[in-house]
């Protein structure tokens, strides 16, 4: 399968425009709204869900780039959704809400007092007709949540913060390997066609690690070529999909026989009897020192 063939499903949705000369962004168009990544810091994406007049943003760590985007596209900010309390996901909230009476949906945590609507597992919110359901996915942090919904045309979408990355997952700053593994495996039960809106551009480095874990996985090798081409043209590698992650993500595949064998070689201890959680923990430890 060629690179163009692999990109075809997303190319049907994407049109590219330049916010400046160095960082083109990709907008995905759906029936009643669009989704655009706003680049922040060195590798963050603040996802903006918007119509031609109004917008919501996900995890706005930097208010300046959000305000610039809103001004450029003449959009009114209607609300904010938050996945967890880390600074690069929340720092922009106070400035964005200082002169706006808008809701801020997110988990309960003392570091995000700006949250006006505390949400938990199973709660729902509606953004431009997209009904999002809250999923509790602890591991990266203890309060981490994700938001899952299906568009009117039947396209499933997931905003997952730092839980799942393309070919990777978030570090375990607070949760246990078992918690994170359970959260990730839960996400794999979503529809394979689910578009996954991660919040960091870690894809190339993640794929290089994935090849160390599974050197014979041709899907990883092909995806790395695609991502390197996107990087050369300054285009984001995201969103990914659940189907793709099942093929290339070592954290979702950690208990497969070929990965158990690599873990045995890496750590010098037989991984044949490891539980699924222990396999995940070993891959996470390997990546932490990669």
Active site residues: 84, 86, 88-89, 140, 162, 200
In degrees rounded to 5, what are phi and psi of residue 58? -110, 125
Residue listed under structure tokens 């790395």: 224
Pair 238, 277: CB distance under 8 Å: no
3-state secondary structure of 110: coil
CA–CA gap between residue 286 and residue 282 (Å, rounded)? 6
| Torsion angle (degrees, nearest 10) of CA 150, 156, 157, 160 | 110
Q: Which residues contact 66 (CB under 8 A, 6 or more apart)?
A: 38, 46, 48, 57, 60, 77, 92, 96
């Amino acid at each position: 399968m060629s690179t163009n063939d692999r990109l075809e499903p997303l190319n049907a949705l994407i049109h590219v425009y330049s916010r400046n000369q160095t960082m083109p962004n990709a907008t995905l168009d759906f029936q009643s709204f669009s989704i655009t990544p706003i680049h922040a810091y060195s590798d963050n994406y603040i996802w903006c869900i918007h119509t031609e007049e109004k917008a919501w943003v996900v995890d706005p760590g930097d208010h300046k780039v959000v305000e610039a985007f809103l001004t450029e596209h003449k959009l009114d900010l209607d609300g904010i959704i938050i996945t967890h309390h880390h600074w690069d996901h929340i720092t922009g909230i106070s400035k964005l809400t200082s002169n706006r009476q808008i809701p801020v949906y997110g988990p309960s945590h003392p570091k995000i007092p700006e949250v006006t609507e505390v949400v938990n597992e199973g709660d729902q919110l509606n953004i431009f007709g997209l009904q999002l359901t809250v999923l509790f996915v602890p591991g990266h942090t203890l309060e981490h949540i994700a938001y899952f919904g299906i568009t009117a045309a039947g396209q499933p979408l997931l905003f997952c913060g730092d839980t799942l990355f393309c070919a990777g997952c978030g570090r375990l700053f607070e949760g246990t390997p078992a918690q994170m593994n359970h959260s990730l495996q839960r996400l794999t039960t979503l529809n394979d066609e689910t578009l996954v809106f991660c919040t960091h551009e870690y894809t190339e480095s993640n794929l290089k690690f994935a090849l160390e874990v599974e050197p014979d996985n041709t899907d990883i090798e092909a995806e790395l070529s695609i991502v390197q081409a996107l990087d050369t043209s300054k285009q984001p590698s995201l969103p990914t999909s659940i189907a793709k992650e099942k093929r290339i993500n070592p954290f979702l595949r950690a208990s497969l026989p070929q990965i158990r064998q690599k873990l045995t070689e890496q750590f010098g201890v037989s991984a044949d009897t490891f539980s699924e959680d222990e396999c995940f923990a070993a891959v996470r430890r390997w990546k932490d020192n990669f």
